[in-house]
Amino acid sequence: MNNDKKNDKKPTKQVEKSSTTNNQQIQSKLLGTNVNEINIEKLRDLKQTQNYNLQGKLNSQIVKTVSNKFGLDIVFVLDLSNQKIGNIDCLTECIHLVQLNLQNNSISDISPLKVMKDLAFLNISNNQITQLDLGELYSLQNLQAKGNFIKSVKAIEYLDRIRVLRTLYLQCPSGDQKNPICDLNNYRNVIFNTIKALQRLDGYTREQEYNTGQELQKEQVQIKIEIPNTGPWYVQQFPKVDSSSTVQLDDKGVKQSLDETKKLIGNIEMKLALLN
């Protein structure tokens, strides 16, 4: 009897193990990758999105998992930085993205981004991009494209169609992570003349002088105060008396001198009070 009970429990464990394996296989098919390589629970926590590793893999299901959304059309903010991604075709379904971070990947084709009419902030720094053909992104305000392979003005002239583009980074304020275009003669004026709406390039406004990361030199205004050299104040109050001359004083003259002296002392006290 006891042997029969033991035999009855063994198939139950095998069924549970088989069920777990089947669930993992299904999840792997849906995500397009091995679930053992990705911590799904961690992906669902948006506070820990910097900790996952997609190993260059990206598809619609992964985007949903990363963004914690059931549909790509309701994804508004997406961070896919540092994931070794080369292909972003699946992002064409994210038509309502407002903020997208794709920095530090291996992306060369950014044409899938053209459908994102609501995109306002885009970071595609440190990829393999050769031209910024993003003229259809009419809501784009801030574009960071440092550390790519953009060489000519023709590669960025599409951006002039974006009337709200205010900020563009083609290199760091320090001059690091620069594109080849940054070595052009009169680089800043060329970019500002090409993209009319642009207000800030590489961290500096049109009016500011590019200073390769050093603090902008502030205009020094020297205030010069000229004080006439008339000698000590008491020289003016008490004129020098010629010692060779004979001075005769009467009572009336002494009294008058004392009164004047009191007035002078009063004036001195007032001046001292003002100094304190």
> Among 189, 205, 221, which residue terminates a domain?
205
Rounded to an integer, the average pLDDT of 244-258 is 62
Residue 217 lies in a domain: no
Q: Decide: 119 and 137 in contact? Cβ < 8 Å.
A: yes
For the chain, the domain total comes to 2
Rounded to an integer, the average pLDDT of 135-161 is 95
* CATH number of the domain residue 117 falls in: 3.80.10.10
Residues 192 and 131 in one domain: yes
Phi, psi of 52 (to 5 degrees): -85, 165
Residue with tokens 């394996």: 21
Residues 66 and 162 in one domain: yes
Among 126-130, 145-149, 243-247, which stretch is predicted with the lowest mean pLDDT?
243-247
pLDDT for position 36: 53
Q: What is the mean pLDDT of the chain?
A: 77
pLDDT tens-digit map of 166-201: 999 999 999 999 999 999 999 999 999 999 999 999
- Please, where are the H alpha helices in 54-142? 60-67
This prediction's pTM:
0.60
**With 80 as the cut, is the pLDDT of residue 20 above it?**
no
**With 90 as the cut, is the pLDDT of residue 132 above it?**
yes
- Expressed as residue numbers, the domain containing 244 is 233-275
Dihedral-angle region of residue 62 (phi above 0 means left; psi in -120 to 50 means alpha; beta otherwise): alpha
**With 80 as the cut, is the pLDDT of residue 70 above it?**
yes
Q: Decide: 213 and 172 in contact? Cβ < 8 Å.
A: yes
Residues 201 and 237 in one domain: no
Q: Calculate the CA 206 to chain-centre distance.
A: 17
The DSSP element (H or E) to which 13 belongs, if any, is: helix 2-31
